[in-house]
A = this chain, B = another copy of it.
């Protein structure tokens, strides 16, 4: 009835693939996901979903068309629906995501980096 607690470090230890968010929790129709980013992702937006990025370790930049926001451990950013963005990580960064269940990592851009049914970790 009550889900087990999630030890974030244990989940991250078994997550090897970059840019492939995995589900670690679900509540109120939202998913909690963990992801590792390294390198450059693609420009995309989510038509219907706001997305929260919380840095667990490392750092990265969220690029917008008109500015860039640098994020470090212990910081989070909410990207509202409809806003084009591109995460870029010079080195590996570990991220916790909050977003509606069903949110695609590539939003409305699609393409071969899309993870259609993220696994649970």
Q: Which residues of A contact B (CB under 8 A)?
A: 1-3, 5-9, 25-28, 30, 32, 49-52, 56, 64, 69, 71, 74-80, 83, 98-100
Copies in the complex: 2
* Interface residue from B7, B9, B30, B69 paired with A98 (Cβ < 8 Å): B30
* Interface residue from B7, B51, B64, B98 paired with A74 (Cβ < 8 Å): B7
Chain B residues in 8 Å Cβ range of A25 = 52, 76, 78
| Closest B residue by C-beta to A26 | B78
Question: Are B83 and A8 in contact (CB-based, < 8 A)?
Answer: no
Question: Are B30 and A30 in contact (CB-based, < 8 A)?
Answer: yes
Question: Are B50 and A27 in contact (CB-based, < 8 A)?
Answer: yes
Question: Are B32 and A69 in contact (CB-based, < 8 A)?
Answer: no
| Closest B residue by C-beta to A9 | B74
Question: Are A5 and B76 in contact (CB-based, < 8 A)?
Answer: yes
* Interface residue from B30, B49, B75 paired with A7 (Cβ < 8 Å): B75
